[in-house]
Amino acid sequence: MVQSQAEDVDGYLAEVPEERTQALTRLRELCRGELQGFTEVMAYGMPAYERDGTAEIAFASQKQYISVYVLRVDVREAFADRLAGHDMGKGCLRFRKPEKIDFELVRDMLRATAKGPGEAC
């Protein structure tokens, strides 16, 4: 997906390929449920979740995969063992197929993020 011009997350989800809508909607629901006190925004053309104006979590439908951005280094380090073997970028976790998303891992990382502030990359 080319960087979205959607004004809000509902608009973003309306643009994504149909085969990804369910998985991305579930990611949104997890974020909204676990990230209490965060603000849902569109940043850099993707849904992001900010605390005190700083994005700590985001997700996106990319051309070849769905990415979940965990922007806190401390959270990524705390989950290093569970992240081993996953397709990772500097701050993103990539899932090539929607059905392969490890929602349990994502939920646990969201919970760790929500526990308290930390430095985002």
Per-position pLDDT tens, the chain of length 121: 557 888 999 999 999 999 999 999 999 999 999 999 999 999 999 999 999 999 999 999 999 999 999 999 999 999 999 999 999 988 899 999 999 999 999 999 999 999 988 777 7
Contact 41, 28 (CB under 8 A): no
This prediction has a pTM of 0.93
User: Which residue blocks in the chain are alpha helix, DSSP H?
Assistant: 9-15, 18-34, 73-78, 80-83, 103-114
What domains are defined for the chain? Answer: 9-114 (3.90.1150.200)
